[in-house]
Amino acid sequence: MQPTVHYNMGGVPCNFHGEVVAPRGGDPDAVVPGLMAVGEAACVSVHGANRLGSNSLLDLVVFGRQAARRCAELQRPGMRHAPLPGDAGELAVSRLDRLRNAQGSRPTAAIRLEMQKIMQMDAAVFRTGESLEEGARKLAQTFESFADVRVSDRSLIWNTDLVETMELENLLLQATATIQSAANRTESRGAHAREDFPQRDDEHCLRHTLVWVEGPGRVRFDYRPVHLNTLTDEVQTIPPKARTY
C-alpha cells in the first residue's frame, strides 16, 4: 500500500502556474520544484468554480497552457534531470507484484461493492456528522479487508483483474480522504451539504483541506488559505456567496 496519499478537494494543491504546492516552514504557497499538475489531478484554488458546467475542461486548458509557459521559463537547453536514486521505481514495481500475487479470500468486486454502498449511503450529497462517522468506521473495516484481497489472473498482458485491484486500492484511499474530510468540515459549502450544519462558516472553514491517508481510517489534516484575489486588476475579485437554487 502507498504510505500516504496527498489529497485535496479536486487534486494536489497547485499554484496558478501549475506548480505543485506543499506548505512548509510556515509558507502555505511553497512549491515542489519541477513537479506540476493540471486538470483533474490539480486543485488551483479556484474554490469550486471548476466544478460548474464545462469549466473543468476550461480549467485544464487554461492552467495547462500556463503550466507549459512556466516550464518554458524554468527549462534551459541542456538542463538535465536531477539524478534518480538507485531504487527509483521500486515502490511501483513492488506494489504491482504484491497485488498480482495477492492470494487472499476476498474478490476485488466484493470489496468494491461494499465501498460503493458505504459511500452512497453515508457520504451522499446530503450528509450528517452521524452518517459520516458511521461511514468512516465501516469504510475503515472494508479498507482493512483489502489486505485479504484475491487476484486470480497472474498474467502480465491485458490483466483487467490486476488493473481493477490497483484502481480499488486507489479508490479506498480516495474514499477515506473524502469521507474523513467531509466529517471534519462542519459547515455546508458548494456540493458539501451537511444537514447538521446548513450554513457556510467562513470564519472557521474558508480554507483548503489537505489530508494524508496513513492507512485504513487513519488520516492527518493540514490546511491552506484560499486565494481570493485575481492576479490582475483587469477582473474584479468575486467574493464567495451562498449557493442557492
What one-character DSSP code corresponds to residue 3? S
DSSP characters over 107-125: EHHHHHHHHHHHHHHHSSS
CB-CB neighbours of 122 under 10 Å:
22
Of positions 56, 128, 174, 184, contacts ligand FAD by CB under 6 A: 56
Residue with cell 469504510: 139
Scanning 33-41, 144-152, 191-199, 200-208 for contacts with ligand FAD by CB under 6 A, the matching segment is: 33-41
Pairing type for strands 19-21 and 31-36 reads antiparallel
Q: How far apart are CA 67 and CA 69, in angstroms?
A: 5
**For residues 67 and 183, which CB has a smaller minimum distance to ligand FAD in the complex?**
67
Q: Applying CB under 6 A, which part among 25-33, 38-46, 76-84, 155-163 lies near ligand FAD?
A: 38-46
Q: Should residue 20 be labelled a site residue for ligand FAD when binding is judged by CB under 6 A?
A: no
User: Which residue in 7, 19, 36, 39 binds ligand FAD (CB under 6 A)?
Assistant: 39
Q: Please count the residues of the chain.
A: 245
> Cα separation of 123 and 142, whole Å?
15
Site membership for ligand FAD, residue 5 (CB under 6 A): no
Residue 135 interacts with ligand FAD (CB under 6 A)? no
Contacts of 232 (CB under 8 A, 6+ apart): none
Whether the CB-CB separation of 99 and 166 falls below 8 Å is answered with yes
Number of H helices, E strands in the chain: 6, 11
Nearest residue to ligand FAD on Cβ basis: 39
Does position 52 interact with ligand FAD (CB under 6 A)? The reply is: no
**If binding is defined by CB under 6 A, does position 105 make contact with ligand FAD?**
no
Of 27 and 40, which CB lies nearer to ligand FAD in the complex structure? 40
Of 56 and 174, which has the nearer Cβ to ligand FAD? 56
Q: How far is the CB of 42 from ligand FAD (least distance, A)?
A: 8
- Tell me which of 27, 35, 40, 93 binds ligand FAD, using CB under 6 A: 40
Angstrom distances, CA of residue 125 to CA of 3, 30, 131, 137, 179: 29, 33, 11, 19, 12
CA distances from 167 to 37, 110, 171 (A): 20, 14, 6
From 35, 57, 74, 109, residue interacting with ligand FAD (rule: CB under 6 A): 57
In whole angstroms, the minimum distance from the beta carbon of 129 to ligand FAD comes to: 28
Q: Report the residue from 5, 12, 43, 60 that binds ligand FAD according to the rule CB under 6 A.
A: 60
Region near ligand FAD per CB under 6 A, out of 13-21, 49-57, 114-122, 143-151: 49-57
Which spans of this chain sit near ligand FAD (rule: CB under 6 A)?
39-41, 54-57, 60
